[in-house]
Amino acid sequence: MEVLEPEEQRRERGALRTALYWLRDLGMSLVIAAILIVFIYQPVKVEGTSMMPALTDQERIFINKFTYRFGIGAIERGDMVVFSFPHDRSKSYIKRVIGLPGDTVEIDRGTVIVNGKALDEPYVPPEFRDQQSMERRRIPPGEYFVLGDHRSSSNDSRSWGTVERGYIYGEAVFVYWPLNRIGRLR
């Protein structure tokens, strides 16, 4: 003889199963999000104007931490990198890589010269250039020379020197806020 369970018990069990599936899916989503944020992409807020016009104050961006952390990609000239400030590791800065290990960098009245050749910098508009000069420096092994794109308002390697490779932990890759600026960074 077949025993039928009451309709109310079947509905409760169905609702419980549905709730458990939702909790499982939510838990998996949280784990995946945590892995992405800790190891791959991290959202950050830009504070300041030193990277204008590429980045503006209060923009929200994603940085790729995976490539640099695990040595998959090399840091290249022109990359916008995020690093711990060498004189206060509790602060993070974002700047553009200008000089690589072994390069010589000098600045002649605002013109950046790398390895004896003027650097083409289409990302620095004329109104953001300054007329500062800096004597030639050789970049030590494992270190990088970085500058802000808004040269007249940037605190960068001209003032405090190079950045050790170990301090660089990400590359700025994508603007997600405000919506009118959404897109990949170059």
Which residues are known to be catalytic?
Answer: 50, 95
User: Which residues lie below 8 Å from residue 74, measured CB to CB, with a gap of 6+?
Assistant: none
Q: What is the distance between the terminal CA atoms of the chain, rounded to a whole angstrom?
A: 73
